[in-house]
Amino acid sequence: MRHSRRHSTPIRYRLKSLALASALALWSVAPYASSVAATPAATVAPTPSDTRSTPGTLDTVATFNDAMPTGVTVSESGRIFVNFPRWGDDVPFTVGELRHGKVAPYPDAEVNRADDRNPADHFLSVQSVVADGRGRLWVLDTAAPNFSSPVAGGAKLVAIDLKQNRIVKTIVFPGNVMRAQTYVNDVRFDFRVGKAGVAYVTDSSLTGIGGIIIVDLDTGSAMPTPHG
């Protein structure tokens, strides 16, 4: 699930009922969802133990009534992660893990604390999270809360080790990649290329030229694709 940048002003609306369906992966999500209880932040709908989901059916895993999530991903072990960009809603943390019926800041509250003075070390406004199937969660930080111009040195791609629950790599996008209108929106990976793989990051800017940013995951170098 991805929401592209659609407005130039902060979004103040509330998402009243956004359901995350088990199209994520029924084999991992349904057993997990059935073990947790409801909370105000994320209401989890358990799957009845005597009813097994069949192909083609959708099960509600969680609903959100406050800040708007724009990304959800499930790790190879069944852990569920979501992100909430800071678009004007009250967003105490911009990356979270759904566990025991609650969404908790991930990897911790301090990393999720917006800090323009140390933007490389904090999540400012995360647009996308992707579990890579290799024990890592990748976090794409726009560094553009309220659709502002990106904070210098804040737009980044971050890898979190899911066993250690700590950041193991931070790739800050350089100034020649991050223009005033750049809005990094989504990311996909190809681990067949290069020493550590390559990330392809979309720039969905409505006022800039947009495009794809190619990131070498080994060296951390990033370059935009040619335009025109």
Looking at this protein, which amino acid is placed at residue 38? A
Does the CA dihedral 73-190-214-212 come out positive or negative?
Answer: negative
pLDDT tens profile 88-146:
889 999 999 998 878 999 999 999 999 999 999 999 999 999 999 999 999 999 999 99
The answer to the question of residue 126 being in a domain is yes
Q: How many domains does the chain have?
A: 1
pTM: 0.75
Measured CA to CA, the distance from residue 89 to residue 36 in angstroms comes to: 26
The answer to the question of residue 50 being in a domain is yes
The answer to the question of residue 215 being in a domain is no
CA geometry: angle 131, 221, 113, nearest 5 deg: 55
The answer to the question of residue 53 being in a domain is yes
Whichever domain contains 150, its CATH number is 2.40.10.500
The answer to the question of residue 11 being in a domain is no
pLDDT given for residue 46 in this prediction? 53
The answer to the question of residue 82 being in a domain is yes
**Torsion angle (degrees, nearest 10) of CA 196, 133, 144, 110:** -100
The answer to the question of residue 75 being in a domain is yes
Measured CA to CA, the distance from residue 205 to residue 221 in angstroms comes to: 21
| Exposure string over 100-110, b if 16+ CB within 10 A, otherwise e | ebbbebbbeee
Residues of the chain with pLDDT under 50: 1-40, 47-50, 228
pLDDT given for residue 93 in this prediction? 97
The answer to the question of residue 106 being in a domain is yes
Rg (CA), the chain: 18
The residue range of the domain holding 67 is 18-166
